[in-house]
């Protein structure tokens, strides 16, 4: 007859508990909602808009954005920089509410400048486009995030 060690009676329950934990983790990861995709980059949106336009109107759109909104590509970097400044202000040993308010105001001004440059570029381009190009541009829809599961 085999001798049994006292710790053998704990091995099976421990193994079952570990398996249940791992299955629970796997199911949780499988069922979690998908993270929404990041917003499309402005240059990708402009390229998508231009792709549906007649060639001459697409050139007008690209030229207008190049002239009036040349720094749209800096937008993600500016956003990340602003978030880092907010984090640093919140982590500071002595909290300065006015400094945090200033960071928020500067971020808002930066977003407003970007929005204004986009609007100005679209207004300028639309004024130079053919009627067909303006109608096609009116039919363009921005990509929306997928519906939740």
Mean pLDDT of the chain: 85
CA atoms in the 13 A half-sphere facing the CB of 99: 11
Q: What is the 3-state secondary structure (H, E, C) of 17-78?
A: HHHHHHHHHHHHHHHCCCCCCCCCCHHHHHHHHHHCCCHHHHHHHHHHHHHHCCCHHHHHHH
Neighbours of 117 (CB within 10 A): 18
Please give the model's pTM, rounded to 2 decimal places: 0.62
Q: What is the pLDDT of residue 142?
A: 79
Q: What is the pLDDT of residue 115?
A: 84
Q: Which two tokens stand for residue 67?
A: 């002239």
pLDDT digits (tens, 9 = 90+) for 30-85: 888 777 767 677 788 889 999 999 999 999 999 998 888 777 766 767 788 999 99
């Amino acid at each position: 007859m085999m001798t049994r060690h006292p710790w053998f009676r704990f091995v099976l329950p421990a193994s079952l508990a570990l398996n249940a934990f791992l299955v629970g983790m796997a199911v949780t990861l499988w069922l979690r909602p998908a993270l929404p995709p990041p917003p499309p980059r402005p240059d990708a949106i402009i390229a998508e808009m231009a792709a549906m336009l007649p060639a001459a109107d697409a050139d007008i759109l690209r030229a207008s954005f190049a002239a009036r909104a040349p720094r749209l590509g800096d937008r993600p970097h500016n956003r990340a920089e602003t978030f880092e400044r907010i984090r640093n202000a919140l982590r500071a040993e002595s909290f300065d509410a006015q400094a945090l308010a200033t960071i928020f105001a500067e971020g808002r001004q930066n977003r407003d400048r970007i929005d204004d440059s986009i609007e100005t570029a679209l207004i300028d381009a639309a004024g130079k486009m053919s009627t067909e190009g303006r109608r096609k541009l009116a039919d363009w829809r921005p990509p929306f995030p997928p519906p939740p599961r």
